[in-house]
Amino acid sequence: MDVRDSEETTFHGDILEAIFSHVPLVHLLAACHASKSWKRAVSSSLSHVNPIKPWLIILTQCPRAPHLITTHAYDPRSHVWLEIKPKPSMAIKHASAVRSSHSTLLYTLSSAEFAFSLDPLHLKWHHAPPPTVWRTDPIVACVGNHIVIAGGACDFEDDPLAVETYDIVKNAWVTCQSMPELLKGSTASTWLSVAVVGDTMYLTEKYSGMTYTFNPIANLWNGPFDLRPDQSVMFCVTGTLRKRLAVAGIVGEGENVKVVKIWVVKGELGSGMVMEELSEMPKEMVEKIMGGSEFGLGSVVVTWVGDFVYVWNSIKGEEVVACEVVNGGTCEWESVKNFAVNERTRMKRVVLSGADVCFENLRREVGIRMKVT
């Protein structure tokens, strides 16, 4: 009798694991409370059958006060869109525009306050005094315990290349070595791509590939380096894949976009550096994202998180292209309909972010209502 019961339980658990692999992650929370066997099956399913994958977070913010925000998330594990609704008591009101930097950091900047969020679902925000230099479109990055703010200064400021860091532990601003002179004509985030690997920030001019590195602990800039894989790349954005520096590049001539490729940087920047081509976006997806030659490259947004790269065009916002690096370094591409953007959101600010969500994140956020769309 005991043997038969054990065999039935094991068989039942295998079936549950297979079933749970098709259930959206947010619905598995309730399944964990059904019974101990269900909780074990959920854990096993997430570990061995269909693991959790990083989410794409899309915020739409009303340009008028009180600047209400709507948050959607795409879960590639379940291939579903979620609407994330905090309880009224948990809702965060921002007095200025929310912006994204190096894929996982969101921030707001005004003359009265600097606020930033490193939380995967961006439900928790840190509030700090504003930097001493007034900026409109700076580079912002989180490097270890430091938030780096570089460039983007207003015209009336003495140093357009000014750099400051905010120490999260000490809650204090520190003035750092200014950006290199060669970046003087392109200090705004509009022209620069930012990536963080370890204790180093990488700044790359999107059209030339010219790159500098900055270590906030050593307060030291290095460069320039050339991160443009070849001369046919006319626009590039840096990021991280599996904690390695990577480059997404648009290949073409003039306004004629031919292909979109991804490279991984191997070795130290400089003469020993190798740019290894990882994958190429399917042509039909390039057409969906670029939509012909009438759109500028500046509207292309690339978000990096974990093993995923998400590519979106803010002008043609109906589709998001996702690339996942799977075992062996091969890539799987998919085109996803963007449920977060529609006719009602055309006049709103749209911000993309990556979220390396874990099951515990969803457990802790008990005040959040997530609706599958």
Instruction: Tell me the DSSP string of 110-174.
Output: -SS-EEEE-STTS---EEEPPPSS-BSS-EEEEETTEEEEES-B-TTSS-TT-EEEEETTTTEEE
The pLDDT, as a whole number, for residue 193 is: 94
306-316 pLDDT, tens digit each: 999 999 998 88
Q: What is the rounded CA–CA span in Å between residue 256 and residue 270?
A: 30
Question: Is-contact 295 327, C-beta < 8 A?
Answer: no
Mean pLDDT of the chain: 86
82-96 pLDDT, tens digit each: 888 876 666 677 778
pLDDT confidence tier of residue 11, bands split at 50, 70 and 90: very low
Q: What is the rounded CA–CA span in Å between residue 330 and residue 257?
A: 24
Q: Which amino acid is at 19?
A: I
- Region 250-270: mean pLDDT is 89
Helix (H) or strand (E) holding 84: strand 80-86
The pLDDT, as a whole number, for residue 329 is: 78
- Region 58-78: mean pLDDT is 85
The answer on pLDDT for 6 being more than 50 is no
Q: Looking at per-residue confidence, does 3 or 26 come out higher?
A: 26
pLDDT confidence tier of residue 142, bands split at 50, 70 and 90: very high
Q: Looking at per-residue confidence, does 67 or 100 come out higher?
A: 100
Q: Provide the whole-model pTM.
A: 0.90
Q: What is the rounded CA–CA span in Å between residue 168 and residue 145?
A: 5
pLDDT confidence tier of residue 207, bands split at 50, 70 and 90: very high
The pLDDT, as a whole number, for residue 90 is: 62
Q: What is the rounded CA–CA span in Å between residue 100 and residue 304?
A: 12
Structure tokens at 133: 């230099």
Q: What is the rounded CA–CA span in Å between residue 26 and residue 361?
A: 10
Structure tokens at 216: 């906030």
Question: Is-contact 323 311, C-beta < 8 A?
Answer: yes
